Amino acid sequence: MIKLERAAKPSILYDNQEKWQQALDLAITKYGSYSAIPPKEKESLVSHYRNALIKEALFESTGEKCAFCECKPGEGGNIEVEHFKPKSLYPKLTFDWANLLPSCRKCNGSKSDHDTGLSPIINPYDTDPESVFYYDDIRILPISKNKLAENTITVCGLNSVRLMRPRAEILVSLHDFSDAIRTALEDYASCTTNLQKSNRSRRIAESVERIELLAKQSERYSGYCKKYLEKCDPYNAAKQLISDVNL
């Protein structure tokens, strides 16, 4: 999970939010509650939140990834528009831009109608997940037993097998690239001429670029890769060397 920047509210919401909400409110009054609205009528009243322009703005802000688990479409089911506070419990927030985020089917299903108003979890548009999570091998864990982080892990199933498996696969690549950097650094240390050093330092820079690609914001599970790099000694030594030789 990584910090996300909320995009500007789409114009279709500016133009229609009030009208859509009023129609939904009328139905709630007519039938007595949100849950009492007949399913077909409810679907036609609420489906606007999945409008293509709303989806586009949301999905763009995450690089087409799930806001919670950072999977790409296909891994956790399609990415859907999710209500942070469930519309079944907070119908007034059905078309509220700040209540919408893109979520995969797995996270959406796991979260279901969990009441985030009563028992909050992290909204990555509002809270920086990096300040409350760390990784132990392939598991995500709360820093200092942070309650919000603990709750998010449980509610979204962030340590389920479907997420630990790709983390394990990525970890193999990260270890591989890290070993390549370590070897390149050792080669550099044994160089005796400036020309050799210059050639070797270029190789180090290329290895660093390769490993950094995995942690790019647009890549799947980039938060996991980023945290790995923070603690990766060969990578940090290579960054220092690159900065020293001004590559």
Q: How far is the CB of 55 from Zn ion (least distance, A)?
A: 16
Q: Is 104 an interacting residue with respect to Zn ion (CB under 5 A)? A: yes
Q: What are 223's two structure tokens?
A: 């938060």
| CB-based contact 50:81 (threshold 8 Å) | yes
What amino acid occupies position 127? T
What amino acid occupies position 58? L
Strands 100-104 and 79-83: antiparallel
User: Largest Cα–Cα distance of the chain, in whole Å?
Assistant: 84
| Binding-residue pattern over the window 106 to 125 for Zn ion, x denoting contact by CB under 5 A | -x------------------
Q: Contacting Zn ion (CB under 5 A), which of 68, 84, 95, 235?
A: 68
For the chain, the C-alpha Rg in angstroms (whole number) is: 23
Q: How far is the CB of 176 from Zn ion (least distance, A)?
A: 26
Q: Contacting Zn ion (CB under 5 A), which of 27, 45, 46, 66?
A: 66
Cβ nearer to Zn ion, comparing 107 with 241: 107
Name the one range near Zn ion by CB under 5 A: 15-23, 63-71, 130-138, 161-169: 63-71
Name the one range near Zn ion by CB under 5 A: 44-52, 61-69, 132-140, 182-190: 61-69
Secondary structure class of 145 (helix, strand, coil)? helix
The DSSP H or E segment spanning 28 is helix 11-31
Q: What are 171's two structure tokens?
A: 């970890």
Cβ nearer to Zn ion, comparing 122 with 232: 122
Q: How far is the CB of 189 from Zn ion (least distance, A)?
A: 43
Q: How far is the CB of 103 from Zn ion (least distance, A)?
A: 6
Q: Is 69 an interacting residue with respect to Zn ion (CB under 5 A)? A: yes
Q: What are 85's two structure tokens?
A: 């506070």
Q: How far is the CB of 68 from Zn ion (least distance, A)?
A: 5
The DSSP H or E segment spanning 205 is helix 194-214
| CB-based contact 2:226 (threshold 8 Å) | yes
**Chain positions contacting Zn ion, by CB under 5 A:** 66, 68-69, 76, 104, 107
